[in-house]
Amino acid sequence: MGTLEWVGTALAVLLGVVYLFLGVGGLPGAFGVAFCLAGLGYLGATALALVDYRRRLVYGVGIMYNVLLFVLYFLLNGVDVSELVGLSGVVKLAQVVFVALLMILIDRSP
């Protein structure tokens, strides 16, 4: 794996840990469960990429997954720019960067 793949791996792990942290704080509610599942999704996809299991497909699913989480966030919370200051803003920015990185990795993969 090259540098970009390792950056993507680190970013996916970071996003997974953040989602798990937020999810555990929200348990036993529905949002807590959803956030825990999102965190596990990041970590599971990271494991698949690390063992080189259909990496290009994992990247493509990762793009759709992040776009879905991004859109759902704004649909469920409304578009309030003031909420994007702090952890929420950092997570959304990380997701945008992650999607861009995954698009580059798909373009470069055979």
Average pLDDT (18-25) is: 92
pLDDT at 89: 84
Rounded to an integer, what distance in angstroms lies between the CA atom of residue 86 and that of residue 31?
A: 19
Output the pTM of the full model. 0.86
Average pLDDT (27-44) is: 91
pLDDT in tens, 56-79: 999 999 999 999 988 888 888 777
**Are 94 and 14 a contacting pair, CB within 8 Å?**
yes
